[in-house]
Amino acid sequence: MKKLLVAMMGLILILHTESNSQPFELEIVPQVVPGMPGIHSYISVQDNGMWVIIGGRTNGLHGWQPNFAFPASTQNTQIFVVDPVNNQMWSAGTAGLSQNIREQITASNHEFARNGDYLYVFGGYGFSTPQNDMITFPAITAIDIPQLITDVVNQNPIALNFRQITEPNAAVTGGNMSYYNGEFYLVFGHKFDGLYNPHNGPSFTQTYTEQIRKFQITDNGNVFTVTGYTAITDTAQFHRRDYNLAEQVFPNGNFGLTAFSGVFKKNVDLPYYDNIDISQSTYTVNTQFQQRLNNYHTAVITMYDSVNTTSYNLFMGGMAQYYYDLNNTLINDSLVPFVSTISLITRDANGQVETVLPYQMPGYLGSNMEFFPAININKYSNDVIKYHDIDTGKVLIGYLFGGIEADYPYVFMQGGGTSWANEKIYQVYLKRSSVTSIDYANPINAFNCFPNPATNHINVNFTLTKSLPVVISIYDSAGKRVVWYPLSKHVTGDIKLDLPLPDLNAGVYRLTLNAAGSYIHQSIVIAE
């Protein structure tokens, strides 16, 4: 029998936080490609405006019990080719590939880089049938990208587009790669073998590479081999994974790479704040700079303004130790939650500055998301966008796809909501002009839920100051979503809803209103 319950009404608001004078404006617009599933932690490459997406996972954040952390049922076993301009998608299964190739490329968190027609995929974490265990694959797979696109679109066999060699030094996951100055750079990451266990049980072994590994690959189209392997080791600074590696044009005009943030420090489970510049012969740790607002891998948009010799690195959501609260106070949260922050690192001859932009991602979104530049945007040979060549007015500079989306910052904690793989594409528009005094006041006003306690229905009233899509969800005490009310279109003004409640057990629940990235949570009681 249900009993009458009384609970303290908890109310939390998460919304746009701060305005800064910036050299450009941003607009993020959702785009749905029919049939496209949500994917994160995947392999990606672009060829003449067509995307290839391989591997990764179709669920949200990994599980917390060793046997269920990375289930086979949520492994992406399809290869997708996407034409974002014409809103089309094609797919092909991987069942016809050899076991060794199939198991590596359908894993997650690989490293990959392209040279010519071939994309080279290193490592990745997934299940190996010969080992009967989860492993970091000691292999490199070469993929003929133009031909693969043709074969997937035309539904031809795809197996001849894949070749693989064994390479122990490629057994890395959670790192990043780049093809730079005629060499492949395999930067940081770790070797993780066995079942993931958040309590550090005996089910796995983990070794950080603490290296920048450099390779050359000789490839005649039939056989490829690794040559010229070297490694640079720094046990203090290179102990990183799940960070961002971005191609750069530095203020002096030189090309290079920068590794931003990452986890975890050796003696404490916190991110690194400095970044590391990498050139062909050396590296520099920028200890005078502190990146606070993004610490895990996410989509990064890199641009260079040759007129003002200034580089811009945009970090799109993800996870961070720091964020701004409603009073524009910088909060230090050692749990490193999901955030919706869009942050900018600006670099010129005077150094680097990090700012938070007066925009947010459309939700707690961005972790393990990727950015695809628009085909008609002018870029340097290393794919850095030529900022000074962007036309005036609103210009499509590229697309965001995939990643982990959550409805609560702490989905990794019990009772902390849920997460899923994002299936939407987001178009990113940029307008080159000064942004000053943008009003991002709280879009949600006059929020109220009644009756509380509730029985078979609940009224949700609120006011939106601008037109936004809204989703209302109810979660039980274990963080499982038990009720979901997506509104079918953008709404604005005074909203009054009378929502039916299913037959729920008596208890305390959490009602969440998500208005395009601005969240409000309130405790409600279900009673007899």
CA angle 245, 250, 256 (to 5 degrees): 45
8 Å CB contact between 473 and 485: yes
pTM: 0.81
**Domain 444-526 belongs in CATH node 3.50.50.60:** no
Angstrom distance (rounded) from CA 412 to CA 296: 15
Distance of CA 374 to the CA centre of its chain: 18
DSSP category for residue 38: P
Closest CA to 348 of 385, 304, 381, 383: 304
Integer CA distances (angstroms), 435 to 316, 322, 353, 439, in order? 18, 23, 17, 11
Angstrom distance (rounded) from CA 367 to CA 353: 22
Tell me what pLDDT residue 339 has: 94
**Per-domain residue ranges for the chain?**
22-32+245-439, 34-241, 444-526
- Alpha helices in 188-256, H assignment, sequence order: none
pLDDT per residue of the chain (528 residues) written in tens, 0 to 9: 233 232 323 333 333 333 345 689 999 999 989 999 999 999 999 999 999 999 999 999 988 788 888 999 999 999 999 999 999 999 999 999 999 999 999 999 999 999 999 999 999 999 999 999 999 999 999 999 999 999 999 999 999 999 999 999 999 999 999 999 999 999 999 999 999 987 777 899 999 999 999 999 999 999 999 999 999 999 999 999 999 999 999 999 999 999 999 999 998 999 999 999 999 889 999 999 999 999 999 999 999 999 999 999 999 999 999 998 777 788 999 999 999 999 999 999 999 999 998 888 999 999 999 999 999 999 999 999 999 999 888 899 999 999 999 988 988 765 568 899 999 999 999 998 643 333 334 577 778 899 989 988 899 998 887 777 777 888 776 666 788 787 755 678 888 899 988 888 888 888 888 776 566 777 888 887
Contacts of 289-292 spanning 24+ positions with Cβ under 8 A: 289/351, 289/352, 289/354, 290/354, 291/260, 291/261, 291/345, 291/354, 292/320, 292/321, 292/322, 292/330, 292/354
Contacts of 347-354 spanning 24+ positions with Cβ under 8 A: 347/250, 347/251, 347/310, 347/311, 347/312, 347/313, 348/251, 348/308, 348/309, 348/310, 348/311, 349/251, 349/252, 349/309, 351/288, 351/289, 352/275, 352/286, 352/289, 354/289, 354/290, 354/291, 354/292, 354/293
Tell me what pLDDT residue 481 has: 72
End-to-end CA, the chain: 8
Q: Tokens 């641009």 identify what position?
A: 303
Integer CA distances (angstroms), 412 to 60, 185, 378, 405, 447, in order? 11, 32, 40, 12, 27
8 Å CB contact between 209 and 225: no
8 Å CB contact between 56 and 83: no
Angstrom distance (rounded) from CA 477 to CA 470: 23
Q: Tokens 């998608």 identify what position?
A: 89
Angstrom distance (rounded) from CA 468 to CA 165: 50
